[in-house]
Structure 1
Amino acid sequence: MVLSSEDKREIGQHFVFGFHGHEISEDAKELIEKYHVGNIILMKRNVQSVKQVHALVQSLQQCARDAGHRYPLMIGIDQENGLVSAFSSTEKHQAGTQFPGAMAIAAISDVNYARDCSAASAREMKAVGINWTYSPVGDVNSDPQNPVIGVRSFGDDPIKVAQYAKAVGEGLAQGGLAPSAKHFPGHGDTNIDSHLGLPVINKSRAELDQTELKPFKELIDAGVASIMTGHMAIQALTGDSETPASLSRAVTTALLREELKYEGVVVTDCLEMNAVMERKGGVPRGAVEALVAGADVIMVCHTMAFHRGAIEATYEAVQKGELHMDELRKSGKRVAALKRRFVGTWDDVLGKPFDEEAMNALQATNKKLSEDAYAKSTALISGSLPAFSSGKIVVMTPVVESLNAAVDDAEGVQRTEKGHVRNTAAPYYMSFAESVRRRAADVEHLVYAADFDCRREFGQGVIFVTRNADRSAWQLDVLEKVRTQTSDPVVVLASCAPYELFSRRVLGVQACVASFEFTSEALEAAARVIFNEVFPAGKSPVSVRGQ
């Protein structure tokens, strides 16, 4: 069959693509004008300030209207809060307010904070024209060794994960954004990162119902606007250990649509992850397979050649009869409904000047909510906090490692020829040292590696910061050496997942504190707790059973 202009316009509605730059690029214009792409994802690379994002979104929407799009664009972003916060401010740029991520929010033990922080974050994004966010994370972090979910999960209890994910979805919708629950049918019980390879989850269907699927069932019952499928193989669902769930009709259509009765929009995770990209045919073929499986929107975030390839492979699949336009049009009605609900008309999105005064007032209110939430999330896992003397305090932070591709391997991170992160002192750990300096007169900040020489003076107390030391056990090796060199108080601060604090290897330290993430805001809250300015009210949402 020969594709008509309307056919191509319809096909364009089934993709969400990213581009590079702080202004609309020629690539973005080509995608919107030539390929009729109806959805755009903004990455951290596109965010410089709230005012700049507003101008960028206006130019994207104007381009779509000028190109004859029937509906405005869905403008999505990866804003889970916590460590995955594409809209939040950085050390270089002032953008959105930083709120606690999933595990930190769950540590507060009050779902109202999950709802309120999500609504507050959504209002900032809505004010600049963003209307879709890829959150909440519905994954249950039942494998402590999980390299990509970890603190992005609300914990290891599927019932509590369901409660918090539902609250976040409600808050985002209240703030005017379409939420997207991810990564269906569940990415929590694997120690393989789908950015790097294909995770395989070997569970029975009964086990999946009790753990992985439980939060998503709750979210579906609550009417969550969209769901993101993940790139993991689950033989009990797909029938083999080679097909990612995102490309499986047994998952997207048979399970999600037909069995669980989900009627909202299904979007895939980015197909440029190795779990899909390394398959035969790569990203373009993956796009076709995902559409055949029943996905409504295919996500490709980075590479223009893959954008063109995915669209043109879809044209070819329709022409050959592998994909059918009537199914795409039926799917397109779900996308159009999402746009009507969360975007509105052209008059709703264009010609809206940026209200800087209103944004400043909103962010002032949100800053107070964020500080309150972070203060309540910090947990004292064991021991008792010391009253540090007036002598020198040594702050020890680990060298940066690439442990989580969703967090550590953002574009623009400078690396050595061997691939190591170039900066030895991470900016967030430098900010923590500054937080300690505001509370103590004499502070020394040491960055330690596996070969750190512990034969030195350690002052009158040590704050020893770890990051996923259950997996990077060399950090605990250094801790044990430090403890042999000093009899003064040692406080261990787990700056990400708290699993190492349940280890026997930290027994005997003065206190173990968990911040559940290493954002500067979380580490400032941890400093307030360590120096007894606020009570450590947080409770760990995860544990290590049997220890």
Structure 2
Amino acid sequence: MAGYRKSIIYTLLFLLNFIAVDAFAQKETYIESLKKQNHWVDSVFKKMNRRQKIAQFFFVRAHTNLGQAYEDSVAKVISDEQVGGLVFFQGGPVRQADLINRYQKLSNVPLLIAMDGEWGVGMRLDSTTSFPYQMTLGAIQDNTLIYKMGQQVAYDFKRLGMQMNLGPDMDINNNPDNPVINYRSFGDNKYNVAQKGIAYLKGMQDEGLLTTAKHFPGHGDTNVDSHLDLPSLPFSRARLDSLEEYPFREAIKAGISGVMIAHMDIPALDNTKNLPSTLSRKIVTGILKDSLDFKGLVVSDAMEMKGVIKYFPNGEADLRAFMAGNDIIELSQNSARAIKIIRKAVRKGQIAQDEFDARVKKILAAKYWAGLSNYKPTPLTNLVADLNRPSEQELVQQLSDASVTVLRGNAASVQLNPILKTAIISIGVTQYTEFQKNLSRWYLNCALFRVGKTASVSDLNSLYNVLKQYQQVFISINDTRPRPQSKLDYSNEVKLFITQLAAKKNTVITVFANPYTIAGLPGIEKAGALMACYQNSDDMQRAAVKVIIRRINPTGKLPVNVNTFFPYGTGVSL
């Protein structure tokens, strides 16, 4: 009897151990799932005619901030064309979730819903959480924080009824004047970009969200915005292989589910005149699919952008994108026209039947992997609260804390003396900042000042004279624009004022702006202490104060080369 009991106990322990291991087993990746036969995919595929199969390639634009007529026009496209998916842009979370529920009812095969969420759903939606920009994340030394961010972003996407993030951005921003990537990149070091991007995508994919590394083979070293024209990437094949493509190769090895192709003219990879990379079979199929052995979803950049339609109008760009090997053709100017043109090409045998079938099934397999074979409408109750949960807000602050980068100074020169008469100045703003309000609680003998972006010379001179009464000065430089560009939109007089203040004794300058802006402020390197804080958010301003008052030790490292004073990797620990 005792032996029997012991046997039962061992059996129970084995089962409990099995359950525990199974609970922590990671979800099979989308790429791994493609190796197996999928009965749901096969069943759906067999019920489709050729036009319906072609329609699966097309993802159309959707908004919730453009009014009822626009929403109805998208509904008509879904009903009439039975497209594969949607890409959502600006709007509100409750309106979007409600609209997704409406749109899904109109589709015979569940729609795959995507959005650009490089810094979370807050990139597009109001009343939701925005995580730090990727440039800010590039300064962080603990990549597990970025993995956790990926998990939280996945939760938000799925809570809203979405299955695919058109991110992360894995471009290497090695051109400070890049007008379209810049702060969206993790930086200019290929290893750091790859590591950060992989941490982010793994966090998302482990929670069941499809991801998309963009913009292959690399949009970082351009000075033209492909929304407006066709940029050129005039580098050698060796340079592209060793630099631009590196993060994408690493992401493919790590199991990324999707890769987005950029609209760029790249003669070293395809010398066809004015041919965007999106439309090049040599690049999409020859390099990405064959040479790099990428098995996942190939996503075109938006097909409405001038960089692609300038030379290939009237649906020709859509046909060429399809023939090049793109699996998802995003934001066609006219999807009905494009489906008709591609249908004709397929009927004429311009693409191998096996390749066509495999690509359709790959889209359906993505829908299955994301849970759409068992689709359920998104519940709207408590949606906004769920998207602004305390754990998420805490992580945003953790990420901000971990990114603060001390470029110059030591513990004494950063903190200064809390007893002395102190001026706290915020530049580029019209209201007192979180930085000022927070710091003033610790420096009780202080006064707060504001300086506008275009303050007059007389006002600047008056303030400079007033500051002679103060023994130490804290300065915050703020970029209040929605997207932090490489150069501040300050007047030359205000920039000169910053130079004058930097030369004063006991001055601490904190830059809540794109780190490249530091290069446009000559003399700033003379400040007693200088901190890079990357963006103008309240979380970042609170993080800077924590460093100043010695509540946290700064661990951030500069993710880009700013100038000779502050190269990549600069970062002082106090």
Verify same fold: TM over 0.5.
yes
Separation (CA, whole Å) in 1 of partners of 2:174 and 2:448: 38
Partner-residue secondary structure (3-state), 2:246: helix
Partner-residue secondary structure (3-state), 2:87: strand
CA contact 2:507–2:528 (8 Å) conserved in 1: yes
Q: Is 2:101 aligned against 1:58?
A: yes
CA contact 2:97–2:378 (8 Å) conserved in 1: no
Shift of 1:394: 2.2
Identify the match of residue 539 of structure 1 among 557, 560, 564.
557
After superposition, what is the alpha-carbon deviation per residue over 1:508-544, rounded to whole angstroms, capped at 9, x for unaligned?
Answer: 1232221223344334433444555433221111124
CA contact 1:61–1:350 (8 Å) conserved in 2: no
Shift of 1:470: 5.5
Find the counterpart in structure 2 of residue 224 from structure 1.
Answer: 256
Separation (CA, whole Å) in 2 of partners of 1:315 and 1:502: 53
Separation (CA, whole Å) in 2 of partners of 1:237 and 1:202: 10
CA contact 2:453–2:489 (8 Å) conserved in 1: no
Find the counterpart in structure 2 of residue 407 from structure 1.
Answer: none
Find the counterpart in structure 2 of residue 106 from structure 1.
Answer: 138
Find the counterpart in structure 2 of residue 364 from structure 1.
Answer: 390
CA contact 1:17–1:39 (8 Å) conserved in 2: yes
Q: Is 2:88 aligned against 1:77?
A: no
Identify the match of residue 493 of structure 1 among 504, 510, 522.
510
CA contact 2:116–2:167 (8 Å) conserved in 1: yes
Find the counterpart in structure 2 of residue 35 from structure 1.
Answer: 81
Find the counterpart in structure 2 of residue 457 from structure 1.
Answer: 463
Write out aligned runs for 1:192-231 (5 A): 192-231=224-263
Write out aligned runs for 1:110-509 (5 A): 110-240=142-272, 242-281=274-313, 284-300=315-331, 306-315=334-343, 317-318=345-346, 327-345=355-373, 348-354=374-380, 356=382, 360=386, 363-383=389-409, 384-387=413-416, 389-397=420-428, 433-440=433-440, 442-449=447-454, 454-458=460-464, 459=467, 460=470, 461=473, 463-465=475-477, 467=479, 471-472=487-488, 478-484=494-500, 487=504, 489-501=506-518, 505-509=523-527
Deviates more, 1:104-113 or 1:261-270: 104-113
Partner-residue secondary structure (3-state), 2:59: strand
Query: Are residues 287 and 531 of structure 1, via their aligned partners in 2, closer, same or farther at CA, if it must alter by over 3 Å?
Result: farther
Find the counterpart in structure 2 of residue 25 from structure 1.
Answer: 71
The size of the alignment, in residue pairs, is 493
CA contact 1:469–1:476 (8 Å) conserved in 2: no
Separation (CA, whole Å) in 2 of partners of 1:155 and 1:17: 31
Shift of 1:272: 2.2
Shift of 1:439: 3.3
Query: Are residues 507 and 515 of structure 1, via their aligned partners in 2, closer, same or farther at CA, if it must alter by over 3 Å?
Result: closer
The residue type paired with residue 371 of structure 1 is: Q
Separation (CA, whole Å) in 2 of partners of 1:374 and 1:205: 38
Query: Are residues 489 and 16 of structure 1, via their aligned partners in 2, closer, same or farther at CA, if it must alter by over 3 Å?
Result: farther
The residue type paired with residue 465 of structure 1 is: I
The residue type paired with residue 105 of structure 2 is: Q
Deviates more, 1:222-231 or 1:489-498: 489-498
Separation (CA, whole Å) in 2 of partners of 1:390 and 1:481: 21
CA contact 1:234–1:241 (8 Å) conserved in 2: no
TM-score, normalised with respect to structure 2: 0.78
User: Which structure has the larger Rg?
Assistant: 2
RMSD after superposition: 3.1
Deviates more, 1:312-321 or 1:8-17: 312-321
Shift of 1:201: 1.4
Separation (CA, whole Å) in 1 of partners of 2:490 and 2:377: 56
Deviates more, 1:263-272 or 1:21-30: 21-30
Query: Are residues 191 and 511 of structure 1, via their aligned partners in 2, closer, same or farther at CA, if it must alter by over 3 Å?
Result: farther
Query: Are residues 79 and 255 of structure 1, via their aligned partners in 2, closer, same or farther at CA, if it must alter by over 3 Å?
Result: same
The residue type paired with residue 193 of structure 2 is: V
Identify the match of residue 16 of structure 1 among 52, 59, 62.
59
Separation (CA, whole Å) in 1 of partners of 2:298 and 2:249: 14
Separation (CA, whole Å) in 2 of partners of 1:199 and 1:113: 34
CA contact 2:478–2:536 (8 Å) conserved in 1: no
Partner-residue secondary structure (3-state), 1:18: strand
Shift of 1:179: 0.6
The residue type paired with residue 238 of structure 1 is: D
Query: Are residues 32 and 239 of structure 1, via their aligned partners in 2, closer, same or farther at CA, if it must alter by over 3 Å?
Result: same
CA contact 1:380–1:513 (8 Å) conserved in 2: yes
After superposition, what is the alpha-carbon deviation per residue over 1:157-213, rounded to whole angstroms, capped at 9, x for unaligned?
Answer: 212211111111111111221010110011111222212222211211111121111
The residue type paired with residue 481 of structure 1 is: F
Q: Gapped runs of 5+ residues in structure 2?
A: 1-46, 441-445, 566-574
Deviates more, 1:252-261 or 1:445-454: 445-454
Q: Gapped runs of 5+ residues in structure 1?
A: 399-424
Query: Are residues 480 and 109 of structure 1, via their aligned partners in 2, closer, same or farther at CA, if it must alter by over 3 Å?
Result: same
Partner-residue secondary structure (3-state), 1:190: coil
TM-score, normalised with respect to structure 1: 0.81
Query: Are residues 442 and 322 of structure 1, via their aligned partners in 2, closer, same or farther at CA, if it must alter by over 3 Å?
Result: farther
Shift of 1:396: 0.6
